[in-house]
Structure 1
Amino acid sequence: MHPLSVCVFCSASTSIPRTYQDLAAETGRGIAERGWTLVTGGEAVSMMGAVADAARAAGGRTVGVVPEALLHEADRDAGELVVLPSVSQRKATMITRSDALLALPGGVGTCDEIFESWTTRMLVPHSKPLVLLDHEGHFGELVSWTDRMHRTGFISHEWRSALRVATTVAEALDMCEAEAPVTT
């Protein structure tokens, strides 16, 4: 198996507690220590900046994918910085460039990326894992909601089981590794 490229979706909000940046840094280090490439939304602030900085500090390769509208926040230290015209193109490129998709706590943008990745996985079939790192219950209500949608028939077992949930960085990265498509 080749080294994975793991896309990390996370917050760029500068008003969240520092503990979330620490979680992002732990994730970036973990990705680099496994010899994987990190793909991010290409911003150099908050969790997004912390995950990329930590990956690079641990010797990892980083790819930032940023829309032109956010170029002023771009991660200029990324090993590769991809600049695209729109957020839609950013999401599609992040998904395409990755073997696994990992969502850390975030807001509306992160939720958009989760749902885009989930829908893409099911409608344009691929087997890339989609893992939520449910740190301190951040995604608890989302997971409960998806379980309810499954119980009431709005989503199939296949759809519900495509969304994986971890509670630690190590568990999330293990899921990415175990479930990523095998390529040579």
Structure 2
Amino acid sequence: MNITVFCSANALDERYTAPARDFGRLLGAQGHTLVWGGSHAGLMGIVADEAKAAGAKLVGISVELLSHKAYQGADELVTTGDLAERKAVLLARADAVVVLAGGLGTLDEVTEVIELKKHGLHVKPIVLLDTEGFYEGLRVQLARMEAEGFLPRPLDELVRFAADPAEALALLEG
């Protein structure tokens, strides 16, 4: 399976890096391909290093703006002209999407793929790895949107939340 991973390119502490390492290792060990933002920095680099070490194929989708952070060990590296094009290619190359901890870019990516799924433009599973309750606020907001009629489909048809890397992969495979 081609698994697109959205996550931070920032250096973070161990409570976020450890699950990223575990997820990358499991992804590779289970024979999946990592499709990601193509960076060597932060969680992006950690997931890529671990996935590669575990035997995964790496497909990086970088952007000209950030080409200086491109991961040099990718099996394939695509450079797009802008962030919108990168998001489109990341989704197009995905069989599934997993979201690790991240900042505004990651939030932008996940809300876009959920919105596209809401409109039936794809049916790919989307799983948020809720490390340390990082996405609890988003989960609460999405549940409120569902309860108050803002979502035309049940929330669990749009996105799932996982407590750990093994559960995230199990939700994709099951």
Indicate the TM-score class for this superposition, using the shorter chain for normalisation: over 0.9
Which structure 1 residue ranges, 5 or more long, are not aligned?
179-184
* Alignment equivalent of 2:9, drawn from 8, 12, 26: 12
**Superposed counterparts of 1:86-125, under 5 Å:** 86-125=82-121
**Aligned-partner Cα distance in 2 for 1:149–1:120:** 16
- The corresponding residue for 2:159 is 163
Provide TM-score, normalisation by structure 2.
0.96
How big is the shift at 1:160?
A: 5.4
- The corresponding residue for 1:33 is 29
Give secondary structure in 2 for the equivalent of 1:142: helix
- The corresponding residue for 2:168 is 172
- The corresponding residue for 2:122 is 126
**Aligned-partner Cα distance in 2 for 1:21–1:45:** 12
Cα RMSD for the two superposed structures: 1.2
**Aligned-partner Cα distance in 2 for 1:87–1:12:** 14
Give secondary structure in 2 for the equivalent of 1:157: coil
**Aligned-partner Cα distance in 1 for 2:105–2:143:** 22
- The corresponding residue for 2:51 is 55
Cα separation, partners in 2 of 1:174 and 1:160, compared to 1, 3 Å: closer
How big is the shift at 1:133?
A: 0.6
Deviations 1:22-63 (A, max 9, x none): 211111111111101000101101100000000111111011
- The corresponding residue for 2:141 is 145
Q: Percentage identity across aligned positions? A: 40
**Aligned-partner Cα distance in 2 for 1:89–1:159:** 27
How big is the shift at 1:118?
A: 0.7
- The corresponding residue for 1:74 is 70
- The corresponding residue for 1:136 is 132
Provide TM-score, normalisation by structure 1.
0.91
Tell me if structure 2 keeps the 8 A contact 1:27–1:51: yes
- The corresponding residue for 1:182 is none
Which structure 2 residue ranges, 5 or more long, are not aligned?
none
**Aligned-partner Cα distance in 2 for 1:74–1:118:** 26
The letter for the 1-side match of 2:130 is D
Tell me if structure 1 keeps the 8 A contact 2:6–2:99: yes
**Aligned-partner Cα distance in 2 for 1:147–1:165:** 12
**Aligned-partner Cα distance in 1 for 2:46–2:4:** 14
* Count of aligned residue pairs for this structure pair: 174
How big is the shift at 1:72?
A: 0.3
Deviations 1:156-177 (A, max 9, x none): 3335531111101011001111
Tell me if structure 2 keeps the 8 A contact 1:146–1:160: no
